[in-house]
Chains A and B, each alone.
Chain A
């Protein structure tokens, strides 16, 4: 019943996909109509603006201490979200915290993305024993729970924000390599690759100019999810004392240092967590929307 109609529309979209450009336009068009993608996009834009405009958004400095106004409750004074145990303005610290999270998200995802793409591309493209060895290694890496791997790497490198980024980036490489490999394998079978090969395209050209751009969709989804994951992981690391160090205004660290105030100052615990939640939610929403649009198999 329905399949007949789907077949019709599929034929139609096949014709349309003759032009890559129109496919991209179609995707953007569909994304606009996708509620979760739109909400996610708005949240992310807000988050990025917050990071860039931090000094102009608030009259306070993130590290200005004033013991006389410590633990001021929110919504009463000009410190809208209250102050922490050292009298620092909580809203200001949250706003500046977005900078840290943005940097962590971008850098650690770049690390996993570049290595993951390289490994997945080579493994999927060449196949054979290269692929077998790489995949074996990746399977072993995936046997170690990811959060644990991150914690260990950063513990070994020494606790710091930079090391946290490296640890998050490195421990995510296997996931990306797997996603990239899977989509390379699917793409490699297409006729146009054989055609280009017969026209004398080099392996490098085939890999980076033909296969990669065409298998980018799932990688893109994974990377979007990855930014949210990285922000969550870095917060966890900071919470354990392995990531950002005081007085950095990192959200996870802010929660960690507020632990002793669960009985006396709820806002110090609550608001940084809400900031993490909203930001990660934004990336997850966008990734969901992207998956709906880019991966037709997932469509209901």
Chain B
């Protein structure tokens, strides 16, 4: 196994058994995160990216959730085979998480200092005083001014950006952080604060040498922070590439759609208008083996309704799962040069 790989998910399928039927949230997903790398998981809400993240540290409520198949290998161990105690020991210590809503993700009835110190004390055999000292240092690290005073604050006394910094501090309150899962960390924040938080995560990653799994629907955020990108749609992986290839050469019609709807991207500034992708996400209850994007795809063919495509490698670092693209590649000898162009020009 590749020594550089920190975490690898193999053939993961997750379903939710609701009273309406089985929701197939994630299907046959493979992904790998290298040490020190930021991997972005991109897609619209409901595409299964959060479920994927929650599969890693097993925060999926079961029932109704069920991990149908697959392995999550982290540092040589399959996390899905660990018992509750073993997984709890990894959570917050080697695998931490920050959430979308800084407003609701901190416990409203405890001081933030106590909340962070509690995490330290859960992972190390230290006294409260020592944990508090560490907490103050950590709050300094995430650039919270006057941390000695702030530790006595309750969450509602802090701004959204400050709270997200506290969340990040809490995620780092460990002797040896390994993987940080950031689930839409900036969605709920102002644009200016967003940039600061992204910068902070980036800096911390460099300093502490941890890996980041960034979950977002925002291509702008991806461009700024990610090393590698996986585009997800309706529980499936559609495209995977390093961040440069993806933005240079978006190959899946869905990825193109996502980039088209991005206002600030210079490459597409000639676009006269924002092109939202037409149609809606298919019902995850009734979906079969077809390509889930088929009903919205401008290049849909009859085969798209029959089976989900195999991987098409465009490059060492660039793969796509699309019948249309694989057709194009097969009919043209020089792969990569004759990829479908955006939209219907």
Binding site for B on A (CB under 8 A): 1-2, 4-5, 7-9, 12, 33
Contacts and interface: CB of A to CB of B under 8 A. Distances in A.
Interface in B50-92: 50-51, 54, 59-61, 64-65
Interface string B18-62: 111001010000000000000000000110101100100001110
B60 A4 contact: no
B170 interface: no
A9 B293 CA distance: 19
A4 B20 contact: no
A264 B60 CA distance: 59
A211 to B, nearest CB: 30
B54 A1 contact: yes
8 contacts: A1-B59, A2-B64, A5-B46, A8-B281, A8-B283, A9-B20, A12-B20, A12-B283
Interface residues of B, number: 20
Nearest to B183: A1
A1 B61 contact: yes
A260 B51 CA distance: 65
Nearest to A6: B18
Interface string B252-295: 00000000000000000000000000000101100000000000
A44 B61 CA distance: 37
B339 to A, nearest CB: 31
Given A8-B23, A8-B284, A9-B18, A1 B60 contact: yes
Nearest to A7: B46
A33 B20 CA distance: 13
A7 B65 CA distance: 16
10 closest A-B pairs by beta carbon, nearest first, are: A4-B46, A1-B54, A1-B50, A1-B51, A5-B23, A5-B16, A8-B46, A4-B45, A1-B60, A4-B50
Contacts of A8: 23, 46, 281, 283-284
A51 to B, nearest CB: 36
A16 to B, nearest CB: 11
A4 B18 contact: no
A12 B283 CA distance: 9
Given A1-B51, A8-B23, A8-B281, 14 more contacts: A1-B50, A1-B54, A1-B59, A1-B61, A2-B64, A2-B65, A4-B45, A4-B48, A4-B51, A5-B23, A5-B25, A8-B284, A9-B18, A12-B283
